[in-house]
Amino acid sequence: MKKVIILGGGMVGSAMAVDLSEEFDVTVADNDPVKLEYLESTYQLKTIITDLSADLNIKEVVSDYHLVICAVPGYMGFETLRSIISAGKDVVDISFFDRDPFDLDELANTMNVTAVVDCGVSPGLSNIILGYHNEWMNIESYTCYVGGLPFVRKWPFEYKAFFSPIDVIQEYIRPARFIRDGKLITKEALSDPELIDFDRIGKLEAFNTDGLRSLLKTMKIPNMIEKTLRYPGHIELMRIFREAGFFSEDKIEVNDISVSPVDVTTKLLFEHWKPEIDEDEFTILKFIISGTEENKKKEYIYEMFDRFDPESKTSSMARTTGYTATSVARLILDGTLEKRGILPPEYIGAIPGYKDKIVNMLAKKNIKIRVTENIV
């Protein structure tokens, strides 16, 4: 039986571990003994308590495994990925760090490693489908909306963090890049708000975030943008936090103690953003691909609505992010995905048949994607 190790036992990391344990020998590595004890006692999983911020620790813990899945917070992601690749291990990564993953492409090819990056829901699943269409369609625009929210809108934030809360804050402070008329545009995060109606949910507000990531380099599409979705009012609240300095990393003196405002903010916010046990929530994804195909103007609208699974007690964000990653992991483990180097998800979607394989694997998990095709 092939062996898989997952670095990070958070909400998404745990969901991936449970999923893969049905077919593989799975170990979860984390520095939280309480979290690991629960996983080991509840599921057919092995665990390792270790500090994943140390390069030597990572190289040691991954040495005996066929595949590594990296599910650490974004601020640790790039260096963790470097350590995994340096150890010569194939890897699927969902850490969403802010560095250019192609900086590790030469190392990955030298080590003969397959390193799939940004392999979540968006970026991730949406990239796979975009890469598929890009093979035979002259794409003129790509617009993506994505968000994960609780069904119960609880004051004051009407939000819960169903993945790393530290990475959520990055969405509010990292400048957003998009392509308009072939030119790279950079705006502050939370900019260009718009209200959109969604079936079953109602109005959500969308705002610019830096979610295109690898697509800025790999796709020659003249118009591309990604926006994050929240309940109305969230943008203004987060702008107040940002402009007042609550997200700043620059230390200030408080009672002769040097503190970083964002550290205090995260400590306070995370108590409000922590999901309740078995909290019902949903993930919504909608993206539009338009251009020319077979001399016809065409538009493809992809829509996904997923919610908390009460049977497995798995959050929707963990399902949609994690099961996209485990679907790709299975392609590596069964030997069918043999490309080496840094592979953003759009490269995988461009391989004939792979988009359908991944979509079918997600459908078996009851994650269904609706597509509407229009001639315009």
pLDDT in tens, 11-27: 999 999 999 998 999 99
Q: Which of 258, 274, 307 finishes a domain?
A: 307
**Residues with Cβ < 8 Å from 276, sequence gap 6 or more?**
160
CATH number at residue 176: 3.30.360.10
Quick one: 133 and 274 in the same domain?
A: yes
- pLDDT of 284 higher than 90: yes
pLDDT mean over 274-292: 95
Structural contact between residues 316 and 149, judged by C-beta atoms closer than 8 angstroms: no
pLDDT mean over 285-289: 98
Quick one: 131 and 108 in the same domain?
A: no
pLDDT at 336: 85
pTM of the model: 0.95
pLDDT at 338: 82
Within 13 Å, how many C-alpha atoms sit on residue 5's CB side? 21
Quick one: 252 and 324 in the same domain?
A: no
Quick one: 198 and 62 in the same domain?
A: no
Residue 28, in any domain of the structure: yes
Residue 312, in any domain of the structure: no
Quick one: 150 and 267 in the same domain?
A: yes
Quick one: 192 and 220 in the same domain?
A: yes
Quick one: 239 and 99 in the same domain?
A: no
Quick one: 173 and 296 in the same domain?
A: yes
Quick one: 74 and 28 in the same domain?
A: yes
CATH number at residue 348: 3.40.50.720
* Cα→Cα distances 359→129, 189, 367, Å: 9, 31, 8
Quick one: 179 and 218 in the same domain?
A: yes
Structural contact between residues 108 and 90, judged by C-beta atoms closer than 8 angstroms: no
pLDDT mean over 158-168: 83
Residue 374, in any domain of the structure: no
pLDDT at 277: 87
Residue 371, in any domain of the structure: no
Q: How many domains, the chain?
A: 2
Residue 373, in any domain of the structure: no
Residue 375, in any domain of the structure: no
Residue 376, in any domain of the structure: no
Residue 268, in any domain of the structure: yes
Q: Which of 266, 285, 307 finishes a domain?
A: 307
Q: Which of 259, 274, 307 finishes a domain?
A: 307
**Burial readout 346-360 (b: 16 or more C-beta within 10 A, e: otherwise):** bbbbbbeebbebbbe
Give counts: helices (H), strands (E), the chain. Answer: 13, 18
Average pLDDT, the chain: 95
Domain region containing 95: 3-120+317-365
Quick one: 116 and 130 in the same domain?
A: no
pLDDT mean over 301-309: 97
How does pLDDT run across 87-141, given as a tens digit for each residue? 999 999 999 998 999 999 999 999 999 999 999 999 999 999 999 999 999 999 9
* Cα→Cα distances 292→136, 345, 375, Å: 9, 23, 10
Quick one: 190 and 238 in the same domain?
A: yes
